[in-house]
Amino acid sequence: MRPLKIVVLAKQVPDTRNVGTDAMKPDGTVNRGKLPTIYNPDDLHALELALNIKDRVPGTTVTVLTMGPKRAADIIRESYYRGADNGFMISDRRFGGADTLATSYTLAKGIEKLAPYDLILGGRQAIDGDTAQVGPQSAEKLNIPQVTYVEEVMSISDNEIVAKRRLEKGVETVSAPFPCLMTVHDSSPVCRSRQAKRVMQYKYARTQTELKSKSTEEYLRELHTKRPYLTIPEWGVEDIDAEMEKIGLSGSPTKVKSVESIVLTAEETKVLSDSDVDIEMMIKELIENHTIG
């Protein structure tokens, strides 16, 4: 079977699953700067699926594409540590404020630069928005078929991939031709860990922006001239030929009109201790008013 060219879309996200009290502002909103950033969990599942296909089909390459601020280069390094062959970053202030439509346009322009490709993989959704929209929207922009919620790849041939989808109420097996885009469900296998050897090899991988930074030591720059594969390519608006009106805020139809932190309150709250007496009193009240039988 011929080797495949796989592109994995990965996003760096604030860890909204562990919002500690220190990350909450007094008005109840989240201080994003205070949240640690992580590799979006579903995207790690997508990376694993890609690496699994690479194991099964010799010669297959796995390229990771991420879009985000400068610190998102961590995503590329992490992907290298776990087995990715290449990494590219889309990073430019002008992409900021993008909703899912503008994001998928930008990603699609980046993916087109990586053409030809056989398979685009991404997580089903990102934990900072849970929309699950960027996958299908990117597929539409690229004009290729989509297969969402993939749990397992059953078989691969030169022209076709067969995958099991995890639906709300069951499973479905579908076949799709190459090229296509798949979003990966978190019921698929978890991602393999970092390999020590690859960490040694790629820990000095940097973007141009990082290399230029004052805090970067000179020997790193020298290392990059000797080992150019360590330099993570960084693409801005012009590099991917993006149209200004389709990116960032201006390319985003949805706007946030207002946010409010809503504090719901009951009319009257009875506060009890964990003593037997208090609990028995409550249970008796509930039985009396027929809440419980």
Partner 1 sequence: MKSVFVYCEVENQKVAEISQELLSAGKRLAQKLGSPLEAMVFGAGLNNISKQIAPFGVDKIHVVDDTRLEPYTTLPHAAIASDILKREEPQIVLFGATSVGRDLAPRLASELSCGLTADCTILDIGDHYVSKEKKEYKDLLFAIRPAFGGSIMANIINWDMHPQMATVREGVMKKEIFDEKYQTEVISLAADKILNDEDFVVKVLERHIEESDVNLKESPIIVAGGYGVGSKENFDKLYQLADLLGGEVGGSRAAVDAGFIDHDRQIGQTGVTVRPKLYIAAGISGAIQHTAGMQEASLIISINNDPDAPMNKLADYVINGDISDVVPKMIQSYKKNAK
Residues 113 to 172: which contact partner 1 by CB under 8 A? 127-141, 145-149, 162, 167-172
249 binds partner 1 (CB under 8 A): no
CA distance linking residue 97 with residue 107, whole number of Å: 14
Partners of residue 38 on adjacent β-strands: 13
Of the residues 3, 20, 28, 189, which one makes contact with partner 1 according to CB under 8 A: 28
Site for partner 1 in 69-88 (CB under 8 A): none
Q: Is 22 in the site for partner 1 (CB under 8 A)?
A: no
253-282 positions binding partner 1, by CB under 8 A = 253-266, 268-274, 276, 278-280, 282
Cα 66 from Cα 79, distance rounded (Å): 10
> In the bound complex, what is the minimum distance in angstroms from residue 230's beta carbon to partner 1?
35
Provide the 10 A C-beta neighbour count for residue 228.
7
Write down the least CB distance from residue 111 to partner 1, Å. 14
Smallest distance, partner 1 to C-beta of residue 254, A: 4
34 lies in the site for partner 1, by CB under 8 A: no
φ, ψ for residue 261 (rounded to 5)? Answer: -95, 120
The one-letter amino acid code at 108 reads A
Tokens of 10: 């990965």
Contact residue for partner 1 among 59, 96, 177, 189 (CB under 8 A)? 177
CA 223 to CA 111: how far, in whole Å? 29
User: Is residue 196 close enough to count as binding partner 1 by CB under 8 A?
Assistant: no
Per CB under 8 A, 184 contacts partner 1: no
By the rule CB under 8 A, 225 interacts with partner 1: no
Residues in Cβ contact with 258 at an 8 Å cutoff, skipping those fewer than 6 apart: none
159 vs 213, which CB is nearer to partner 1?
159
Among 114, 174, 199, 211, binds partner 1 (CB under 8 A): 174
How big is the site for partner 1, counted in residues (CB under 8 A)? Answer: 79
* Beta carbon nearer to partner 1, 115 or 282: 282
Listed in sequence order, the residues at least 6 apart from 119 whose beta carbon sits closer than 8 Å to its beta carbon are: 4, 5, 6, 7, 50, 53, 161, 178, 179, 180, 181, 182
- 116 cis-preceded (ω within 30 degrees of 0): yes
